[in-house]
């Protein structure tokens, strides 16, 4: 799950315990790594389970089961009133899709976004899965989203600025084709809250924004549309879709900034 605007972020800060960009203690970082691992393992289980005929509600139930079986709590359930543990966004849905009776079918491009909390510390990750044979260009679009995420992660280093991450994401997408880069939703700081400062846009100039320091944690999450970048929100008040009806993909990892290479808390395997 991602933040909508800076105003939302500020609101969270006002209601939460902390303001500004936080540097986590080593104990907090340990719990973030645990929350990240559980988030990643649960997404892997969901990617295994997804198949034609399964309902999005069944996938949500599996997500909650897997998270709780590992001793964590679903981060999204009840967050600002969100009714489920899993955001599941199919085809032209970009983010924040609500699980329900919909059945997954062959050819769907399914984004799954998930968070887990361990002792008050968060993990947040998203992956997009192709169900069987998908439409023309969808595999390349997915590869673009994944590559953009890892281009951003490569810049998530002490001494760099938020803009360096944003710019790397944008350039990787532009290099791979004419896609729509979603601008109204961004990545974010993460730690004792799901959404903390700073916001991490998926576009913009390098060399600007907050400096990254060891012990900070951020969620980087490019959203890449096959068509234009314009978005709309459905009547359910949550589901964000592409205005032109084209497919969107979404990838996200939670990252800890270190003195050296970034730690990807939500990555499993590889
Ligand atoms: Mg997320
Ligand atoms: Mg997020």
What residues are neighbours of ligand 1 (ion), with CB under 5 Å? 1, 113, 124, 126, 252
Q: Name the band, by pLDDT with cuts 50, 70 and 90, for residue 3.
A: low
126 Cα: distance to centroid of ligand 2 (angstroms)? 8
213 Cα: distance to centroid of ligand 2 (angstroms)? 20
189 Cα: distance to centroid of ligand 1 (angstroms)? 11
Please give the pLDDT value at position 4.
Answer: 56
Q: Whole-angstrom Cα distance, residue 40 to residue 251?
A: 12
Q: Name the band, by pLDDT with cuts 50, 70 and 90, for residue 151.
A: very high
What ligand has the least distance to the C-alpha of 185? 2
The yes-or-no verdict on residue 7 having pLDDT over 60 is no
Q: Name the band, by pLDDT with cuts 50, 70 and 90, for residue 136.
A: confident
Q: Name the band, by pLDDT with cuts 50, 70 and 90, for residue 10.
A: very low
Q: Name the band, by pLDDT with cuts 50, 70 and 90, for residue 44.
A: very high
Q: Name the band, by pLDDT with cuts 50, 70 and 90, for residue 198.
A: very high
pLDDT digits over 78-113, tens only?
999 999 999 999 999 999 999 999 999 999 999 999
The yes-or-no verdict on residue 6 having pLDDT over 90 is no
What residues are neighbours of ligand 2 (ion), with CB under 5 Å? 2, 124, 219
Task: Report phi then psi at 130, rounded to 5.
Answer: -90, 130
Cβ atoms of residues 4 and 185 within 8 Å: yes
pLDDT > 90 fraction of the chain, expressed in percent and rounded: 91
Residues with Cβ < 8 Å from 97, sequence gap 6 or more?
Answer: 56, 87, 88, 89, 90, 111, 238, 239
188 Cα: distance to centroid of ligand 2 (angstroms)? 6
pLDDT digits over 205-220, tens only?
999 999 999 999 999 9
198 Cα: distance to centroid of ligand 2 (angstroms)? 12
What ligand has the least distance to the C-alpha of 4? 2
Please give the pLDDT value at position 11.
Answer: 35
Please give the pLDDT value at position 131.
Answer: 98
Residue 267's Cβ-side half-sphere holds a number of Cα atoms within 13 Å equal to 14
Q: Would you call 54 exposed, middle or buried from its count of C-beta atoms within 10 A (0-12, 13-18, 19+)?
A: middle
Mean pLDDT of the chain: 94
Tokens linked to 59: 């996938």
Please give the pLDDT value at position 20.
Answer: 81
At the top level of CATH, which class does the domain 18-264 belong to?
Answer: alpha beta
Ranges of each domain in the chain: 18-264
What ligand has the least distance to the C-alpha of 39? 1
What ligand has the least distance to the C-alpha of 116? 1
259 Cα: distance to centroid of ligand 1 (angstroms)? 25
250 Cα: distance to centroid of ligand 1 (angstroms)? 9
Please give the pLDDT value at position 2.
Answer: 65
Task: Look at 17 and 88; give whichever has higher pLDDT.
Answer: 88
The yes-or-no verdict on residue 47 having pLDDT over 90 is yes
């Amino acid at each position: 799950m991602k933040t909508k605007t800076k105003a939302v972020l500020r609101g969270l800060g006002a209601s939460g315990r902390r303001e500004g960009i936080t540097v986590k203690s080593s104990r907090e970082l340990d719990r973030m790594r645990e929350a990240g691992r559980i988030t990643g393992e649960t997404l892997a289980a969901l990617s295994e389970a997804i198949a034609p005929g399964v309902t999005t509600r069944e996938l949500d139930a599996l997500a909650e089961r897997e998270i709780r079986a590992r001793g964590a709590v679903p981060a999204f359930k009840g967050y600002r009133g969100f009714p489920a543990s899993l955001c599941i966004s199919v085809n032209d849905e970009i983010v924040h899709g609500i699980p329900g009776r919909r059945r997954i079918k062959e050819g769907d491009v399914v984004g799954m976004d998930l968070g887990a909390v361990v002792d008050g510390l968060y993990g947040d990750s998203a992956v997009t899965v192709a169900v069987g044979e998908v439409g023309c260009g969808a595999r390349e679009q997915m590869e673009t989203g994944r590559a953009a995420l890892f281009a951003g992660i490569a810049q998530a280093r002490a001494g760099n600025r938020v803009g360096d991450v944003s710019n790397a994401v944008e350039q990787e997408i532009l290099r791979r084709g004419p896609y729509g880069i979603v601008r109204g939703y961004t990545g974010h700081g993460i730690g004792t809250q799901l959404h903390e400062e700073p916001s991490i846009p998926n576009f913009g100039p390098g060399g600007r924004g907050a400096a990254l320091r060891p012990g900070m944690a951020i969620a980087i999450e490019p959203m890449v549309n096959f068509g234009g970048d314009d978005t709309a929100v459905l009547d359910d008040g949550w589901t964000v879709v592409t205005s032109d009806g084209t497919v969107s993909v979404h990838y996200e990892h939670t990252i800890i900034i270190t003195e050296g290479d970034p730690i990807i808390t939500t990555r499993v395997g590889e």
